[in-house]
Chain A
Amino acid sequence: MSAPTVPGGRDAIPEEELHAFVDGQLAPARRDEVAAWLAGDPEAAARVRAWQAQRNALRAAFAEPAPPDPRLDLMRIVETRMRRRRLPWAAGAAAAAIVLALGLGGAAGWMLRGGPADRQAMALSVLEQEAFATHAVYSVDKRHPIEVGAAERDHLTQWLSNRLNRRVAPPDLSAAGWRLLGGRLLATERGGAAALFMYDNAQGQRLSVVMRPMAPDLATPEPQRMGGAVNGSAWIAGGLGYAVVAAAPHDEISAVSKLVRQQSPAA
């Protein structure tokens, strides 16, 4: 590169910065400095112009939108994956292949083959996806978020416990400012039964607690954080998967998770 020629005698601009100039990766102030420097160095300016033209041409050349491909529908992939849970990179390694098969009885919960870590990750992943989907569908329903209201708490507990073939009860989250609205029965991906308890707070926000049967030997010690705009946590204890989901900060989710854990039979 030729010597600096800009008035004021600043050092030559390193080539890295010329690329960053072309790619719009310089801070505005530096960008102006580089532009000023280029004005005094025709050779470097020509090179930068060539790079810019190349960049534009490349973007144009690859701009052709791809024809739709139904295989790349993300929701479909997630569903297929939930139906037939097999890790692509583990294919061929029979011992590592993970096969999900829910038992016929609710209590049987999950049966997975594979390494313990894989099984746990899978179990949590399914739990999360179910919990987020459940929250997305029911929490926005103004009139019918639940089937059985908090006024019939005993009936709700009895009914869901019967259907899940184990005792599940709505935790008391009033200490964290959440009031029980009620609950409903959910279908899991493989036709098993799960329970949803829905809560709201003084601001009218809603929070979902999902419980579903899991293989008795699956357990994750600590709630795993998940989410973005909607947050959640999920864990497995005593043969039940638990998930807490709400459009609330992680701190609040943690506080609620703690309350749920304190009140669950496995605690």
Chain B
Amino acid sequence: MAGPSVMAGMEACIPALRRYAWALLRDRREADDLVHDCLLRALDRLHTRRTDAELRPWLFAIMHNLFVSRTRRARVRAGTERLDGWHEATLGHPPGQEDHLRWKDLVRAVGELPEDQRAVLLLVSVEDLSYAEAARVLDVPIGTVMSRLSRARERLRRITEGEPAIPLRRVK
């Protein structure tokens, strides 16, 4: 529950939560709103959390649920299938060097994935969640995680086929 170690653990997860939220929403303000709501809800739910449960997947699950309900609301409002943030954010980037263009292509390609595939791809590839943890976060069977991951990777591969890799930077 709300011991200092749990607080420290939550604190340590914030950069990852912000990265995932930004990757989902592509809007810094909206992403941080989502993380903020996630932290509030997590604090209110510390009592319902099993003490031996891993903190990171638990937080990601809370945030993912908030994201899903928010996206649903946004769709109802906008009457559209996809959040516009992705397109605005990616298209709004000024064209620059070659690397930047490839980065843009990849980010745009991720944005064009169906939402469920995008979530799996980001949780596994960027956030280093195990397949079992990703399954828990998204509340789907592990087989579904695997098939979404496979579809996402193949789709991205087709989109970016033949392009040299983007220069590596370390993920914190």
Chain A residues in contact with chain B, CB under 8 A?
15-16, 19-20, 23, 25, 47, 50-51, 53-63, 65-67, 69, 71-72, 74-75, 77-78, 81, 87-89, 121, 124-125, 128-129, 132, 136, 224-232
Q: Are A61 and B106 in contact (CB under 8 A)?
A: yes
Complex interface: chain B residues within 8 A of A231 (CB): 3
Complex interface: chain A residues within 8 A of B102 (CB): 57
Q: Are B157 and A74 in contact (CB under 8 A)?
A: no
Chain B residues in contact with chain A, CB under 8 A?
1-7, 9-11, 14-15, 18-19, 22-23, 28, 31-32, 35-37, 39-41, 43-44, 46-47, 51, 102-103, 106-107, 110, 121-122, 124-126, 128, 130-131, 146, 149-150, 153, 156-157, 160-161, 165-172
Knowing A54-B157, A88-B37 touch, does A62 contact B22 (C-beta < 8 A)?
Answer: yes
Q: Are A65 and B15 in contact (CB under 8 A)?
A: yes
Contact check: which of B1, B3, B130 meets A25 at CB < 8 Å? Answer: B130
Top 5 A-B residue pairs of the complex, sorted by shortest distance between their CB atoms:
A228-B5, A226-B1, A227-B3, A57-B166, A53-B165
Q: Are B3 and A230 in contact (CB under 8 A)?
A: yes
Closest to A127 in B: B2
Complex interface: chain A residues within 8 A of B107 (CB): 61
For B2, B103, B126, B165, the residue with the greatest tally of chain A CB atoms inside 10 Å of its CB is B2
Contact check: which of B6, B51, B171 meets A62 at CB < 8 Å? Answer: B171
Complex interface: chain B residues within 8 A of A54 (CB): 106, 125, 153, 156-157, 160
Contact check: which of B6, B10, B28, B168 meets A66 at CB < 8 Å? Answer: B28
A-B contact pairs, 28 of them (CB 8 A): A20-B131, A23-B125, A25-B131, A47-B157, A54-B106, A54-B125, A54-B157, A54-B160, A58-B106, A58-B121, A62-B19, A63-B171, A63-B172, A66-B15, A69-B32, A75-B7, A77-B39, A78-B43, A81-B44, A88-B37, A125-B1, A125-B43, A125-B44, A129-B2, A225-B51, A226-B2, A228-B4, A228-B5
Contact check: which of B128, B153, B167 meets A51 at CB < 8 Å? Answer: B153
